[in-house]
Amino acid sequence: MNDRLKTLVALTLGVTLFLAVGCNRTPSRVHPPGIDADAAGKAAMDQYDANKDGKVAGEELQKAPSLNAAIDNLDKDGDKAVSAEEVTERIKAWQDSRLGRTSIMIAVTYRGQPLDGAKVVFEPEQFLGAEVQPASGTTDPYGRATLNIENSKIPGIAPGLYKVKITKDGMNIPAKYNTETTLGAEVARDAKDAETGPTFNLN
Give percent of the chain with pLDDT exceeding 90. Answer: 76
- What's the maximum distance between 2 C-alpha atoms anywhere in the chain? 87
- Helix or strand (DSSP H, E) at 61: helix 59-62
Rounded to an integer, the average pLDDT of 44-55 is 97
pLDDT for residue 112 is more than 50:
yes
Q: How many domains are there within the chain?
A: 1
The SS3 assignment for 15 reads: helix
* pLDDT attached to residue 1: 52
Task: Return the DSSP state at 148.
Answer: E
**DSSP track, 67-109:** HHHTHHHH-SSSSSEEEHHHHHHHHHHHHHHT---B--EEEEE
The CATH number of residue 141's host domain is 2.60.40.1120
More confident residue, 115 or 196: 115
pLDDT tens, position by position, 13-28 = 444 434 444 444 434 5
Q: What is the mean pLDDT of the chain?
A: 88
Q: Is the pLDDT of residue 156 over 70?
A: yes
Per the domain annotation, does 30 fall within a domain? no
Is the pLDDT at 10 greater than 70, yes or no? no
- Range 12-16, long-range pairs (CB < 8 A, 24+ positions): none
**Per the domain annotation, does 1 fall within a domain?**
no
pLDDT of residue 23: 45
Residue 178's domain comprises 37-202
Specify the DSSP element, H or E, that contains 146. strand 144-146
Q: What's residue 22's pLDDT?
A: 44
Mind listing the pLDDT tens digit for each residue in 66-106?
999 999 999 999 999 999 999 999 999 999 998 899 999 99
15 located within any domain: no
What gap in Å lies between CA 185 and CA 160, rounded to an integer?
8
Is residue 24 situated within a structural domain? no
Question: What is the sign of the dihedral through the CA atoms of 158, 159, 162 and 164?
Answer: positive
DSSP single-letter state for residue 168:
B
Residues written for the chain: 203
Position 2 scores a pLDDT of 53
For residue 32, being part of any structural domain is answered with: no
Report the pLDDT value the prediction gives residue 5, as an integer from 0 to 100.
Answer: 44
Q: What is the pTM of this model?
A: 0.84
* CA distance from start to end of the chain: 80
- Residue 33's pLDDT is 80
